[in-house]
Structure 1
Amino acid sequence: MRILVLGGTVFLSRAVAEDAVRRGHEVTCASRGASGSVPDGVRHVAWDRDATVPDELDDTFDAVVDVARHPSRVRSALARFPRAHWVFVSTVNVYADDSTPGGRPGTLPLRDPQPEDVDLSVDPEAYGPMKVACEQLVRDGAASWTVVRPGLIVGPGDPSGRFSYWPVRLDDGGEALAGGRPEDSMQVIDVRDLAAWIVTCAEERTTGVYDGVGDVLPVGDVLAQVASGVGATATLTWVPQEVLAEQGVEPWMGPDALPLWLPRPEYDGLPAHDPAPSYAAGLATRSIAETARDTLVWVRATPDAPTTGLSREKEAAVLAAWHASEG
């Protein structure tokens, strides 16, 4: 089949293109990037989605995979390819409730849609509402559609560096700072597993809305699998979230953040969506240990691999303050 990937140069969209080519599909990637940045075996068409659609992107594609967040770009692409099956990659950030575990599509309220493009550097909170608007456009404008709402996507090539922090940190050994409680929930999905499922949804013209998430696990188990995958012997010291906040440690992502730590209970539901409907629709996931191993190999082999998280000096200072308070 003929598949159009809107993007195809970075992380998830690139993994989708790679998987589709491996299956023997005719794949075109449309992006602003250079042709050399798309996977081997893929036809590249240069397209800035704020500009007119190039003539070589005609309405003969069987499926379109779109990861856009700007409603205007989704709107124009739908007008160009109205007959294709659309697989739209949304996000769990469309949900207005981040505190309730076990949610699935149809059980949690959505944020109010933001139908106009918003600069996220000005208003980062517009991300979820813009994705809500994009979902509505796809449901109303595509011949048939799948909406996939991923949570934390991880694995080789991760541009955020959130998960990558942990394989590197645990492989370095010593005493490692862990946040909150080991029983707090967490879920991740390997980019390769998500991409493979997206291609399957395109092939089968799967319809409906799904959360693209893996199993819900205690974060302590997630980190244990990371350690196992990289053969690490680091020792985890769990520091309560109140102490982390007092020490200026930020949650989730950033230069002063501890990745995978989220304040509770307000974020009990964000990394705890029910994966059962997605598994029933064909999603298959690998072990976190395998993802961690492959992520570490990628980071060590890629000098400019993105990473995020607090420095070793900051980590040591927080641990020292915690041990002093313990007395």
Structure 2
Amino acid sequence: MQILILGGTAWLGHEIAAEALRRGHQVTCLARGTSGSVPAGARLVRADRDTPDGLGAVAEQHWDAVLDVSRQPGQVRRAVAALAGTAEHFTFVSSCSVYADHGSPGADETAGLLPPLESDVMTSPDVYGAAKVACENAARNTFGPDRCLIVRPGLIAGPGDSTDRTGYWPLRFARPAADDGAVLVPEAPGLAAQVVDARDLAAWLITSAEQRLTGEFNAVGAVLALAEHLEIARGVAGHTGPVFVLDQQELAAADVNPWAGERSLPLWLPLPDFAGFMSRSNAAAKAAGLALRPLAETLADTLAWELATGPDRPRNAGLTSDEERRLLTIAHPRA
């Protein structure tokens, strides 16, 4: 197949391109080329999708499949307009952030969406979900339901995750901040954790393009209790030290942020508003062939990547060692 990937140099796009190449497809990546390199064997077409003629270099060629990971509605609108006449199938990689309600565990693809962003440009992370809805609409409206696949991942995990949301825990358990090996975790009964390995996602995306799958799918992992996720991270790291906890109210009082960013505990989210954020149904995607590796494999590979790439690099999520040591002084031993 002749496959065009709009992207291909950053983490997920690179994984998609590499998977397509492993299967013997001809792969072209259209990107600015500032996020990294394309996999060996792929052709890079350097272009700026924010310009009116950004797709000009690829718009006249026939494509068996196009895959797009953009979050900018204007980029997707221009792409589908340029490629609708030459591409057989279009996959848009969206996000579960498109859903309006994150408090209902087990919700499937029929759940209500946010209103679409009207602007061509997402200027704030606060409108990320609305921007992805607008991108979905552009892809579906232009290619039509018979040639368009909308894939909604949840939290993407695995080696290469520079957001630090999935690498934080195995790395922290492997390298505790406290001299006695103690590690601080959130006490959050009822909170789920759900991740999909980028490699599994990429493999299913290419399979779906080969089969010209259409429709909307939540490409999400198995639902585990957050406590179970953390125990698996602890196990792959070989941690045997004490574990201390702070509950939701205590974390908020200590100015610890949920999810990501500075002074945060990754994967922790406040309840009840986010009870369904990482517990969506993946039944449709699994029935369509999505295969998931064990979480332990994902976290072990992520830990190996973290250690190989430099665990002391600036982090995009989590507590610093000093912050954790201070919080441990007010935390409680896990029962």
1:38 to 2:38 alignment: yes
- What is the rounded CA distance, in whole Å, between the counterparts of 1:118 and 1:57 in structure 2? 22
* 1:198-277 correspondence to structure 2 within 5 Å: 198-277=205-284
1:261 to partner: Cα distance = 0.5
- What is the rounded CA distance, in whole Å, between the counterparts of 1:172 and 1:36 in structure 2? 29
- What is the rounded CA distance, in whole Å, between the counterparts of 1:129 and 1:35 in structure 2? 24
1:155 to 2:158 alignment: yes
1:68 counterpart (43, 56, 70): 70
1:318 to 2:322 alignment: no
1:191 to partner: Cα distance = 0.5
- What is the rounded CA distance, in whole Å, between the counterparts of 1:214 and 1:65 in structure 2? 21
1:93 to 2:97 alignment: yes
1:182 to partner: Cα distance = 4.7
Contact 2:261 2:316 in 1 (8 A): no
1:321 to partner: Cα distance = 1.5
More divergent stretch after superposition (273-282 vs 34-43): 34-43
1:80 to 2:89 alignment: no
Q: 2:10 corresponds to which residue?
A: 10
- What is the rounded CA distance, in whole Å, between the counterparts of 1:284 and 1:140 in structure 2? 29
1:115 to partner: Cα distance = 2.7
More divergent stretch after superposition (226-235 vs 287-296): 226-235
Q: Secondary structure at the match of 1:105?
A: coil
- What is the rounded CA distance, in whole Å, between the counterparts of 1:149 and 1:56 in structure 2? 26
- What is the rounded CA distance, in whole Å, between the counterparts of 1:241 and 1:224 in structure 2? 19
1:312 to partner: Cα distance = 1.6
- What is the rounded CA distance, in whole Å, between the counterparts of 1:286 and 1:181 in structure 2? 25
Contact 1:114 1:126 in 2 (8 A): yes
- Per-residue displacement from partner, 1:123-166 (whole Å, max 9, x unpaired)? 32211111111101111111501111111101111121111111
- Per-residue displacement from partner, 1:244-273 (whole Å, max 9, x unpaired)? 000110000012100010001110010110
Identical aligned residues as a percent: 43
Unaligned runs of 5+ in 2: none
More divergent stretch after superposition (172-181 vs 263-272): 172-181
- What is the rounded CA distance, in whole Å, between the counterparts of 1:305 and 1:276 in structure 2? 37
The amino acid across from 2:109 in the alignment is: P
Q: What is the TM-score with the length of structure 2 in the denominator?
A: 0.91
1:168 to 2:171 alignment: yes
1:293 to partner: Cα distance = 1.0
1:322 to partner: Cα distance = 2.7
Q: What is the TM-score with the length of structure 1 in the denominator?
A: 0.94
- What is the rounded CA distance, in whole Å, between the counterparts of 1:145 and 1:180 in structure 2? 42
Contact 1:254 1:310 in 2 (8 A): no
- Per-residue displacement from partner, 1:58-79 (whole Å, max 9, x unpaired)? 3401111101111111111111
Contact 1:214 1:285 in 2 (8 A): yes
Q: Secondary structure at the match of 2:317?
A: coil
Q: Secondary structure at the match of 1:131?
A: helix
Q: 2:288 corresponds to which residue?
A: 281
More divergent stretch after superposition (311-320 vs 70-79): 311-320
The amino acid across from 2:204 in the alignment is: W
More divergent stretch after superposition (28-37 vs 187-196): 28-37
Unaligned runs of 5+ in 1: none
- What is the rounded CA distance, in whole Å, between the counterparts of 1:241 and 1:230 in structure 2? 25
The amino acid across from 1:64 in the alignment is: V
The amino acid across from 1:238 in the alignment is: V
Q: Secondary structure at the match of 1:75?
A: helix
- What is the rounded CA distance, in whole Å, between the counterparts of 1:300 and 1:99 in structure 2? 35
The amino acid across from 1:170 in the alignment is: F
More divergent stretch after superposition (280-289 vs 228-237): 228-237
